[in-house]
Amino acid sequence: MSVNQRIKPITTEIKENLTIGGCDTLELVKKYGSPLYVIDELTLRTICREYIDAFKNYPNITVLYASKALATSAIFKIVTSEGLGLDVVSGGEIYTAYKAGIPMDKLMFNGNNKQEWELETAVDVGVGRFSVDNFNDINLLGKITESRNKMVEVLLRITPGIDCHTHEYIQTGHLDSKFGFDLTQIDEAVSLILSKYPKISIRGLHAHIGSQIFDSAGYVDEAKILVSELVRINKKYNLSMDELNLGGGLGVKYTENDTPPDVKDIAEIVINTLNQEFDKNKLKDIKLYIEPGRSIISTSGVTLYTVGAIKQVPKGTKYVSVDGGMADNPRPAMYQAEYVCDVANKMNFEDKEIVTIAGRYCESGDILIKDILLPKLQAGDVICVYNTGAYNYSMASNYNRVQKIGMVLVNNSQSDIIVYRETLDDLISHDNIPDRLN
Ligand code: LLP
C-alpha cells in the first residue's frame, strides 16, 4: 500500500491519546496552541521515496513536487532532499525556494498568466524549465530573453482534451480549459517561437489532466497524445524535442470511499504506455517529468482542533463547533470535500453518537465534516482531521480577521515549528489609516 492509499500518517499510534510522529497530539496542542497543522516527516519522506522507487525503471525522470499543494521553506527542503524538484506557479513560490537555498535548476515554472516580473525573476535566477502556457507567455519570455541575452528552455503546455472523472473545478485537461494550447493552436505557437525568438529553446511538451484522479485511463490517453504530438511537431518543424511532462493529479484517500491506485501501479502503466509509444515511433532517451502535489503531501498532514460550543438542534443535527474551519481548510466549502477525524483524547471510548463538526467562521457553509460517528464530545476535546496536508494551508485565508494557524513538523518524538501562527499584529501589519481619518 502506498502512502496515498492511507487515510492517516504512517506513524499514527494510539497510546493514551492519539500520537503522530511519536508526539502526543494533546501535548502538541498544549505546546503550540490550537488549531494546529501537523506534518509527519516520515510519511512525507516515505511517499517521496515511493515515487522515486516506482519510476526507477524509467532511466531519466524527475519528480517535481507541485508546490501549490503546500509551499513552505521546510517542506521544500524535505522534498528536494529526497531528490524531487519543484513545480512552481508564482513569484512567491520561486522566492520561497530561492530563500530556502533550493537550486533553481530544479524548478519548473507553470501557470496560465505568469506576470512579467515573475518571468523576469525566473529568468534572472535561472529557473530550469518554463512551461509555456499561451502566446502571452511566449511574447513575454521572448522579450525578456532578448533583453538579457539569455536562453531559456521551455516545454509547451497543451490541452489534450481528456475528460477525467473528478470534480468539475479541478479538471484542467479538457478542451474548454483556460490552461495550455489547444491542439489546434500548438503549431502557431511553435512557429512563433521559431520565427521570432531564437533564445527560447523548445525542449518538449507538457500536459496536466486534472486532480484527485483514481483511474489510470486518463494517463494512458495523455501519454499517447503527448508522444504523438511530440513526434508530429518534431517532424514538421525539424525539431528534436526530447522531454515530456505528464503533470500531476494522482488521488488520495480522504475517506473509506476513496480508492486511489498504488503509485507503483500507476508508474508501471505510464512507463509501459510510454515505452510502447516510443518503440512504435523509434524514439529514444526521452526525459520525463511528473508533477504530483496532493499525493505527496496530503497524507502526512493532519489538523488538530479544539471543541468549543456544542448545539443540539431539537430533533435535528448535533453541531460540535471547533476553533478553526473554512479559513484553514476551505475544501469542504469549496468542493464539498469529505474528511474523517478522530477525537485525539478519546481514542478508546466506546459510547458514540453522530455529530456534525462545524467551523467557527460566520457562514452556514462552514462545516468541516457532516454526520460522523464519534465518542460523546465535550468542550476541550481535541479533534484530529486527517489528510489535510494538501490545499489547506496553501489555500488558507484570514476570513473573519482570524490569524492563520501554525504548522509543526513531527518526527521521532520531536516537534518543530515550520510555520509560525500569525499574531494579532500580523493581521493589522498591512493596514494603513490615511492621515485625514485620524
Ligand atoms: N501540475 C499542474 C500543472 C497543476 O495544475 C496541478 C494542480 C498539479 C500539477 C498538481 O496536481 P495534484 O497532484 O496536486 O493533483 N485546490 C484543489 C486542487 C487544484 C489543483 C490544481 N492543479 C483542491 O483542493 O482539490
Q: What is the CATH number of the domain that holds 322?
A: 2.40.37.10
CA–CA separation, 70 and 50 (whole Å): 19
**230 part of a folded domain:** yes
How confident is the model over 399-425, as pLDDT tens digits?
999 999 999 999 999 999 999 999 999
Examine the domain organization and report whether 290 and 397 are in the same domain: no
Examine the domain organization and report whether 257 and 375 are in the same domain: no
Residue nearest to atom 6 of ligand 1 (CA): 248
pLDDT of residue 170: 56
Ligand 1 near 294 CB (within 6 A) = yes
Per DSSP, 278 falls in state H
Residue 393 Cα, ligand 1 centroid: separation in angstroms?
A: 14
Examine the domain organization and report whether 336 and 420 are in the same domain: yes
CA–CA separation, 226 and 208 (whole Å): 11
**77 part of a folded domain:** yes
How confident is the model over 334-350, as pLDDT tens digits?
999 999 999 999 999 98
Closest CA to 261 of 221, 213, 219: 213
* Cell numbers found for residue 50: 515511493
pLDDT of residue 351: 83
Distances (CA, A) of 117 to 94, 137, 178: 12, 12, 21
**22 part of a folded domain:** no
Per DSSP, 188 falls in state H
Q: What is the mean pLDDT of the segment spanning 241-256?
A: 98
Please report which helix (H) or strand (E) contains residue 289, including its range: strand 287-290
**6 part of a folded domain:** no
Asked whether residue 167 carries a pLDDT value surpassing 80, the answer given is no
pLDDT of residue 86: 98
Q: Which of 252, 282, 297 is the last residue of a domain?
A: 297
Ligand 1 near 261 CB (within 6 A) = no
Tell me the percentage of the chain whose pLDDT exceeds 90. Answer: 95
Examine the domain organization and report whether 137 and 235 are in the same domain: yes
Question: Which structural domain range is residue 87 located in?
Answer: 40-297
Cβ-based burial of 132 (10 A; exposed 0-12, middle 13-18, buried ≥19): buried
pTM: predicted TM-score of the whole model, two decimal places: 0.97
Examine the domain organization and report whether 51 and 93 are in the same domain: yes
Residue 252 Cα, ligand 1 centroid: separation in angstroms?
A: 12
Query: Which of helix, strand or coil describes residue 372?
Result: strand
The one-letter code for the residue type at 301 is: G
**18 part of a folded domain:** no
| Residues in a beta bridge with 130 | 109, 154
Examine the domain organization and report whether 240 and 352 are in the same domain: no
Closest CA to 374 of 355, 387, 359: 355
Query: Which of helix, strand or coil describes residue 172?
Result: coil
Examine the domain organization and report whether 240 and 377 are in the same domain: no
Ligand 1 near 293 CB (within 6 A) = yes
Q: Which of 297, 332, 365 is the last residue of a domain?
A: 297
Maximum Cα interatomic distance, the chain, rounded to a whole number of Å: 74
Helices (H), 23-127: 25-32, 41-54, 73-81, 91-99, 116-125
Examine the domain organization and report whether 375 and 283 are in the same domain: no
How confident is the model over 180-238, as pLDDT tens digits?
999 999 999 999 999 999 999 999 999 999 999 999 999 999 999 999 999 999 999 99
CATH of the domain at 263: 3.20.20.10
Q: What is the mean pLDDT of the segment spanning 320-329?
A: 98
- Known active-site residue 362: yes
Q: Which of 297, 318, 333 is the last residue of a domain?
A: 297
Asked whether residue 153 carries a pLDDT value surpassing 70, the answer given is yes
CA–CA separation, 369 and 351 (whole Å): 19
Q: What is the mean pLDDT of the segment spanning 39-50?
A: 98
Q: What is the mean pLDDT of the segment spanning 242-257?
A: 98
pLDDT band at 172 (very low <50, low <70, confident <90, very high): low
pLDDT band at 95 (very low <50, low <70, confident <90, very high): very high
Examine the domain organization and report whether 365 and 310 are in the same domain: yes
CA–CA separation, 347 and 333 (whole Å): 27
pLDDT of residue 294: 98
Residue nearest to atom 5 of ligand 1 (CA): 208
Examine the domain organization and report whether 93 and 158 are in the same domain: yes
CA–CA separation, 70 and 352 (whole Å): 34
Decide if 128 contacts 105 (C-beta within 8 A).
Answer: yes
pLDDT of residue 261: 97
CA–CA separation, 283 and 402 (whole Å): 55
**29 part of a folded domain:** no
Examine the domain organization and report whether 270 and 311 are in the same domain: no
- Give the active site residue among 23, 48, 164, 362: 362
Decide if 222 contacts 161 (C-beta within 8 A).
Answer: no
Q: Please report, in angstroms and rounded to a whole number, the separation of the first and last CA atoms in the chain.
A: 62
pLDDT of residue 326: 98
Examine the domain organization and report whether 286 and 341 are in the same domain: no
pLDDT of residue 161: 84
**387 part of a folded domain:** yes
CA–CA separation, 199 and 144 (whole Å): 10
| Residues in a beta bridge with 353 | 374
Asked whether residue 311 carries a pLDDT value surpassing 70, the answer given is yes
Distances (CA, A) of 146 to 125, 139, 150: 16, 11, 7
The number of distinct structural domains making up the chain is 2
**438 part of a folded domain:** no
